[in-house]
Chain A
Amino acid sequence: MNRSSLSFVLSLSSALALAGCCWGPNAKDSGTAKADAAAAAATAQTPAAPAWPAMPTPGPAPEFNVPSSTSFTLSNGIPVTLVTTGAVPLVELQLNVRSGSAADPAGKEGLAAVTADMLNEGVTGKDSLALASALQRLASDVSLGAALDNSIVRVNALEDKLQPTLQLVLEMLASPTFAQADLDRVLEDRKRALASAKDDLPTVGWRSFRRLLYGEQYMGRSGSGTDGSLGAIKRSDVTAWHRDAWTPKNSSLVIVSRMDQAALKPILDATLGSWTGKPKGEAPKAKVELPARKSGTTVYWVDKPGQSQSYIIVGNVAPGFDSEGDDKRTLGNHPIGGNFTARINMNLREDKGYTYGARSGFSTSRQGGRFAASSSVRADVTAESITEILGEIRGALGDKPVTDDEHRRSVGSLVQAEPGSYERMASVLAQFAHADQMGYPAGYLQGSAARLSAIDRATAQKAFADVVSGDDLVILVVGDRAAAGPAVEGLELGPIVAIDDEGNPL
């Protein structure tokens, strides 16, 4: 084939495609128009060369149903959500305990996390190494940790090793030894990790940012503790937290397996179902009062001399999860900064070349959240990058509202991603375990596509504008103050407040 003549023909059809294009499932007519134009061009210019086929127009989305779950209760009362699906002989499982690091006692931040660590450090009859060895022989992964509102056990096991694996998990829940020597080691490991975390600009940035928004409560507190708070944690604190928080009454279980309830329940009842807690007090819960949005724009700065990029975060307090507003806000943000082709990335990366990537989004927990745009930018364009981020947020709220086309593309992007989000068993677990933690109403995951599809542009935009204001934005920079600070001062956003690695004013 003669390449040059083919190229010539195609450049004509491309001009037409650009003129009349709208992507996606709604662009039903453009494919035909382009094909006709290309055919006409081919006929007119080079009758011998076949036309390059026009860009195909995708048809309607294939039918996909988010898996349903079944619910049942173990003999000790633990509610179970089971999703029977999967193509390989694995079981993915998560135990959610409804007390997390947000409920750490004042001055003992990190206690929920340390207690979770300690459950993996030895049980009656097996020390830390023997326990690890037993799990490894089964090729089972068991990890424990604390999130804001939950403590978590995550299990990944071969199907035929599920029962012995859960027997070991039961021992961890019911008869941990909490040896002082292990606690000393765990606390020291956590202090070491805190120190090393100061090397990483985004880690420093997000920790400080949450602190600036929430102060001494909820996500403002460090779930991994501080040097001081870790130093204050005693063995008696760990045993008390375990006794009151880690109980069947305060827990729920989510499982993804090829097995159904009839096959699984006997295994679960013989293991986790025989766990009995003996709480003396109420399970620890965080009392959260959502802080007011910070008013005005203030620039905070964590100085990291010599770094070739600055990490920028711009945002404010946002609400916690609610089943009415969450989808609308997510959709409202999506064209602004929630995907690769969203405005903030197109501007800072694909137009200006300031960064490798830029985004915005909501982080939503049960009792509070935050909105933030963030990017790691070349140090000498820190001020310009802040200006562009502010411009995109303010523009979307003002004279550059999201268009109908942008909105349609975002609905498609979120809705049609569903089949891929439920492909692997671990992904299915992630969805259902999150639903369990957030307290999604029944059918919420299964109804997601229909709900998103029904939200119109104005509704999404209003939901975004209800919780984000272009006038009220906390701006945080982690980077070289001497190199990038003067230009940022020149933006006249207000005085720059110097803070330390943990968000404390210097």
Chain B
Amino acid sequence: MTHRSHAARIASGAAFFALVATSPALAETPKISIPHESYQLDNGLTVLLHKDDSRPIAHVELWYHVGSKDEVEGRSGFAHLFEHLMFNGSEHADGEYFAPLQPLGARINGSTNGDRTNYYETVPTNGTELALWMEADRMGFLLPALTQEKLDNQREVVRNERRQRYEITPYGEVWVYLSEEMYPAGHPYAHTTIGSHEDLEAATLDDVKGFFRQWYVPNNATLVVAGAFDTAEVKGWIERYFGPIPKGPQPSPVTEADPGTITAKTINITDEVQQPRVYWAWGSPGFFKDGDADLDVLSMILTDGKNSRLYKRLVFDDRIANDVAAYQASAQLGSRYIMYATVAPGHTVEEVQAALQEEIDRFKAEGATADELERAANSWQKSFYQRMESVSGRGGMLHMYKNYVGQPDFAQGDLQRYLDVTLDSLSTWSNAVLDDSKRVELIVRPAPKEPAPTDGAGSEGGAQ
């Protein structure tokens, strides 16, 4: 973008924010929107195009509707291991996936979580066609380039990712327990996305081939292109490169699962850390379900800023904790509401437990204040502006809303979920979710490590 001193007093905004650009003093909060065109190829690939020519960049992102929830017994971590193999060459580009795109200054990566696997390239516009070709080649022709050597190598890389992110990271192994202990055996979320060393070692080439044929078909994928492009041209590329890939048998990702009944329990583990830490976790409503936004707002009221309930009590006033955090870990089949506090030197686990209990009980009995609710709403409003600033942000939002809500431009609807939270709804959901009789407690105490557990967790970063 060039210098704007001769432009209007307010530089013009991108299309999605046109209202503000013409009238900055407008008192009414403008609606946010991600205009897009949606269509399907004959092979079932869903395409979403969001055009924004304000900068010469484009974001290409694919979601495959498969995550670690869809893994079979004995193959925990496989969806993520597979994601790594997508970066090691396909038939017509049999080398590092990064190699052709990196000289264009592209930002490239992928990630896997419980619900889905994504891949993306943010490129200057001269790289858009290449990015589409590269994605199409690995969607259509991964297996001819697959070798045992590549599988063995990425298996080691992923096991090192597990060591780096869960084993040597302080308190990193709690995620193993928060998966195994919060869902009944066999539940799609009862194991973690990183998987166990044992299962990763057991994965075979045949597993990779079977997984690819089952899940990596165009009719189980969504493609977003967001940014600067000529619409007719980009549609031509998409048809040319993705069109010939044959449709596969329609896969059936897991869409619901019985959460079972969580009964209160305490798990004690140890880690190479200086201070004990207390985790409390509860089952909670799924991503975008009723109550999901209320619990996000609750997290702000409890632990965002010096005046938040738990921070002020445990860290600021009583000085019994080094830190405290609470958040809704939203997921498709059902979420977890998690809070933790690190016990301060000279204080005890019991002091922290008592203070957490007292503040939660107080909140459940008395509810939030109007002031707390207003501060939270203002913060959410601003966070949406920040997320929508980049084409990668908007592209990711189209994917997320399509996947979880079935409506790609749900930006305003999403923001509205937070603006619609009331004192009553907060009270209802905090009482419903923060139930003492269904609370899973995990206490980490400092001690030499026990033998490494068999699993890890959460959303996995991809190739980089």
Please tell me if A139 contacts chain B, counting CB pairs below 8 Å: yes
A308/B246 contact (C-beta < 8 A), A139-B382, A424-B389 known = no
User: Hey, which chain B residues are within 8 Å of A60, CB to CB?
Assistant: 126
Please tell me if A346 contacts chain B, counting CB pairs below 8 Å: yes
User: Hey, which chain A residues are within 8 Å of B20, CB to CB?
Assistant: 88-89
Please tell me if B156 contacts chain A, counting CB pairs below 8 Å: yes
With A and B bound together, what is the CA distance between A315 and B22 in angstroms?
53
Please tell me if B31 contacts chain A, counting CB pairs below 8 Å: no
Nearest-neighbour CB distance to chain A for B269, whole angstroms, equals: 14
Interface size counted on chain A using CB atoms at 8 A: 105
| CB-based contact A87/B389 at 8 Å | yes
Please tell me if A231 contacts chain B, counting CB pairs below 8 Å: no
Interface 9-mer from A7-15, A242-250, A363-371: A7-15
Please tell me if B1 contacts chain A, counting CB pairs below 8 Å: yes
With A and B bound together, what is the CA distance between A368 and B272 in angstroms?
34
User: Hey, which chain A residues are within 8 Å of B16, CB to CB?
Assistant: 87
Please tell me if B449 contacts chain A, counting CB pairs below 8 Å: yes
Interface size counted on chain B using CB atoms at 8 A: 104
| CB-based contact B168/A53 at 8 Å | no
Contact of A341 among B91, B98, B140 (CB under 8 A): B98
Chain B residue nearest in CB terms to A376: B164
| CB-based contact B91/A14 at 8 Å | yes
| CB-based contact A423/B55 at 8 Å | yes
| CB-based contact A129/B306 at 8 Å | yes
| CB-based contact A306/B448 at 8 Å | yes
Please tell me if B92 contacts chain A, counting CB pairs below 8 Å: yes
Please tell me if B14 contacts chain A, counting CB pairs below 8 Å: yes
Chain B residue nearest in CB terms to A192: B322
Please tell me if B193 contacts chain A, counting CB pairs below 8 Å: no
Interface 9-mer from B99-107, B175-183, B351-359: B99-107
Contact of B141 among A7, A64, A258 (CB under 8 A): A7
A420/B91 contact (C-beta < 8 A), A90-B382, A195-B274, A340-B464 known = no
Q: Indicate with 1 or 0, residue by residue over A246-261, a CB within 8 angstroms of chain B CB atoms.
A: 0000000000001111
User: Hey, which chain B residues are within 8 Å of A311, CB to CB?
Assistant: 168
Please tell me if B255 contacts chain A, counting CB pairs below 8 Å: no
| CB-based contact A423/B240 at 8 Å | no
With A and B bound together, what is the CA distance between A420 and B154 in angstroms?
29
| CB-based contact B385/A88 at 8 Å | yes
User: Hey, which chain A residues are within 8 Å of B11, CB to CB?
Assistant: 84-86, 258, 260
Nearest-neighbour CB distance to chain A for B297, whole angstroms, equals: 14
Please tell me if A199 contacts chain B, counting CB pairs below 8 Å: yes
Nearest-neighbour CB distance to chain B for A501, whole angstroms, equals: 11
With A and B bound together, what is the CA distance between A357 and B142 in angstroms?
23
Of B10, B16, B169, chain A has the most CB atoms within 10 Å of the CB of B10
| CB-based contact B322/A58 at 8 Å | no
A349/B157 contact (C-beta < 8 A), A90-B382, A418-B105 known = yes
Please tell me if A70 contacts chain B, counting CB pairs below 8 Å: yes
User: Hey, which chain B residues are within 8 Å of A159, CB to CB?
Assistant: 24
A415/B1 contact (C-beta < 8 A), A258-B13, A420-B57 known = no
Please tell me if A321 contacts chain B, counting CB pairs below 8 Å: no
Nearest-neighbour CB distance to chain B for A303, whole angstroms, equals: 12
| CB-based contact B103/A85 at 8 Å | no
Please tell me if A506 contacts chain B, counting CB pairs below 8 Å: no
A1/B244 contact (C-beta < 8 A), A10-B141, A62-B125, A128-B306 known = yes
User: Hey, which chain A residues are within 8 Å of B374, CB to CB?
Assistant: 137
Q: Indicate with 1 or 0, residue by residue over A138-150, a CB within 8 angstroms of chain B CB atoms.
A: 1100000000000
Chain B residue nearest in CB terms to A200: B170
Nearest-neighbour CB distance to chain B for A125, whole angstroms, equals: 17
Of residues 343 through 400 on chain A, the ones whose CB sits less than 8 Å from some CB of chain B are 346, 349-351, 353-357, 376-378
Please tell me if A467 contacts chain B, counting CB pairs below 8 Å: no
Please tell me if A59 contacts chain B, counting CB pairs below 8 Å: yes
User: Hey, which chain A residues are within 8 Å of B156, CB to CB?
Assistant: 353-354, 378
User: Hey, which chain B residues are within 8 Å of A67, CB to CB?
Assistant: 1-3
User: Hey, which chain A residues are within 8 Å of B88, CB to CB?
Assistant: 350
Please tell me if A216 contacts chain B, counting CB pairs below 8 Å: no
Of residues 385 through 434 on chain A, the ones whose CB sits less than 8 Å from some CB of chain B are 408-410, 412-420, 422-426
User: Hey, which chain A residues are within 8 Å of B134, CB to CB?
Assistant: 55
With A and B bound together, what is the CA distance between A418 and B124 in angstroms?
9
Of B137, B160, B306, chain A has the most CB atoms within 10 Å of the CB of B160
| CB-based contact A309/B244 at 8 Å | no
| CB-based contact A55/B102 at 8 Å | no
Chain A residue nearest in CB terms to B100: A23
User: Hey, which chain A residues are within 8 Å of B410, CB to CB?
Assistant: none
User: Hey, which chain A residues are within 8 Å of B152, CB to CB?
Assistant: 353
| CB-based contact A138/B378 at 8 Å | yes
User: Hey, which chain B residues are within 8 Å of A137, CB to CB?
Assistant: 371, 374-375, 378
| CB-based contact A306/B272 at 8 Å | yes
Nearest-neighbour CB distance to chain B for A24, whole angstroms, equals: 4
Chain B residue nearest in CB terms to A261: B5
User: Hey, which chain B residues are within 8 Å of A88, CB to CB?
Assistant: 13, 17, 20, 385-386, 388-389
| CB-based contact B4/A260 at 8 Å | yes
| CB-based contact A353/B385 at 8 Å | no
With A and B bound together, what is the CA distance between A201 and B297 in angstroms?
34
Of A50, A408, A414, A424, chain B has the most CB atoms within 10 Å of the CB of A424
Please tell me if A73 contacts chain B, counting CB pairs below 8 Å: no
| CB-based contact A87/B164 at 8 Å | no
Please tell me if A295 contacts chain B, counting CB pairs below 8 Å: no
| CB-based contact A136/B307 at 8 Å | yes
Please tell me if B435 contacts chain A, counting CB pairs below 8 Å: no
User: Hey, which chain A residues are within 8 Å of B104, CB to CB?
Assistant: 24-25, 58, 61, 412-413, 416
Of residues 90 through 114 on chain B, the ones whose CB sits less than 8 Å from some CB of chain A are 91-96, 98-100, 102-108
With A and B bound together, what is the CA distance between A66 and B13 in angstroms?
18
Chain B residue nearest in CB terms to A128: B306
Q: Indicate with 1 or 0, residue by residue over A167-205, a CB within 8 angstroms of chain B CB atoms.
A: 000000000000000000100110011011011110000
With A and B bound together, what is the CA distance between A278 and B140 in angstroms?
69
Contact of A139 among B2, B154, B379 (CB under 8 A): B379
User: Hey, which chain A residues are within 8 Å of B107, CB to CB?
Assistant: 417, 420
| CB-based contact B305/A136 at 8 Å | yes
Please tell me if B221 contacts chain A, counting CB pairs below 8 Å: no
| CB-based contact A132/B306 at 8 Å | yes
With A and B bound together, what is the CA distance between A65 and B312 in angstroms?
47
| CB-based contact B91/A58 at 8 Å | no
Chain B residue nearest in CB terms to A65: B2
Please tell me if A43 contacts chain B, counting CB pairs below 8 Å: no
Of B1, B108, B240, chain A has the most CB atoms within 10 Å of the CB of B1
Please tell me if A287 contacts chain B, counting CB pairs below 8 Å: no
With A and B bound together, what is the CA distance between A395 and B391 in angstroms?
40
| CB-based contact A87/B378 at 8 Å | no
Please tell me if A325 contacts chain B, counting CB pairs below 8 Å: no
Please tell me if A454 contacts chain B, counting CB pairs below 8 Å: no
With A and B bound together, what is the CA distance between A68 and B93 in angstroms?
39
A64/B382 contact (C-beta < 8 A), A89-B24, A307-B272, A356-B161 known = no
With A and B bound together, what is the CA distance between A270 and B102 in angstroms?
47
With A and B bound together, what is the CA distance between A417 and B126 in angstroms?
12
Contact of A308 among B3, B125, B163, B273 (CB under 8 A): B163
Q: Can you name 18 extra interface pairs (CB under 8 A) apart from A56-B133, A408-B103?
A: A60-B126, A64-B55, A84-B4, A86-B389, A88-B17, A129-B312, A136-B379, A192-B322, A306-B449, A307-B167, A308-B163, A311-B168, A341-B99, A353-B152, A354-B156, A416-B127, A420-B122, A425-B389
13 contacts between A and B (CB under 8 A): A11-B144, A14-B94, A57-B130, A84-B11, A129-B307, A158-B382, A189-B322, A193-B322, A308-B168, A354-B160, A416-B127, A419-B105, A420-B107
Residues of A within 8 A of B (CB): 1, 3, 6-7, 10-11, 13-14, 17-18, 23-25, 50, 52-65, 67-68, 70, 84-90, 128-129, 132-133, 136-139, 158-160, 185, 188-189, 192-193, 195-196, 198-201, 258-263, 304-309, 311, 339-341, 346, 349-351, 353-357, 376-378, 408-410, 412-420, 422-426
Ranked 10 nearest A-B pairs via Cβ: A353-B156, A417-B105, A416-B105, A62-B56, A412-B103, A139-B378, A199-B170, A24-B103, A68-B3, A356-B161
